[in-house]
Amino acid sequence: MTIQTERPGGSSFLERLIDRWSRLAEHRVLLESYLACSLLPFLFSILPSWVAVSGGPIHRDGVVDYSMGLDAILFAPILETIFIFVPVLEICRFFKVRPLWVALCFALFFELLHTQRNFFGHLMLYPTMVSMTLVYLAMRRKSFVYALLFTIVVHELYNFTVVMGNAYTYDRFFY
């Protein structure tokens, strides 16, 4: 009797991406995961915000709270990674849950914790959460410290991009 090591039907795209990222050089993983996280928010949030302000005066009406910027960029990714990513993903690792299900289910759980978004925001950012989960899983194959640091850095870069790249962050443009 032989033991089957390959899953029926092969591995999923997400599992192949985890394998790929676990073998790539660190700078490539950071770049690819950052781009994967940022693509949809750039297309559907950042770019439209700049199109909106290019027409002249607009009123922010508290769209972005400046006091939250530093917390969102620097502190939230560290705390979320340590207190949310690590415990849940390490438990899944202990029980040898298939990476595909870990990525899909944990990303949904983590996205739903961000209650400040509307339904469209959740749909747009779910792939971002999947990507961040994949970074953790891929780097965890190298070491726990890699997984922790890479997830924090990608999350911080992503938050910096969406906060500072959004035109509504700033009081005035073109007037």
**In one letter, which amino acid is 23?**
R
Task: Identify whether 15 is part of a domain.
Answer: no
pLDDT score, position 63: 54
Residue indicated by tokens 């995961």: 33
Task: Identify whether 148 is part of a domain.
Answer: yes
Domain of residue 109 covers 36-49+68-168
121 to each of 17, 45, 68, 107, 159, how far by Cα in Å? 25, 9, 18, 14, 14
User: How many domains, the chain?
Assistant: 1
Q: How many residues does the chain have?
A: 175
Task: Identify whether 116 is part of a domain.
Answer: yes
Helix (H, G, I), strand (E, B) or coil at 4: coil
23 to each of 11, 19, 33, how far by Cα in Å? 16, 7, 14
Instruction: State pTM to two decimals.
Output: 0.85
How many CB atoms are closer than 10 A to CB 45?
17
pLDDT score, position 166: 84
Task: Identify whether 22 is part of a domain.
Answer: no
Task: Identify whether 114 is part of a domain.
Answer: yes
Residue 172 has pLDDT above 80, yes or no: no
Task: Identify whether 44 is part of a domain.
Answer: yes
State the chain's mean pLDDT as an integer.
86
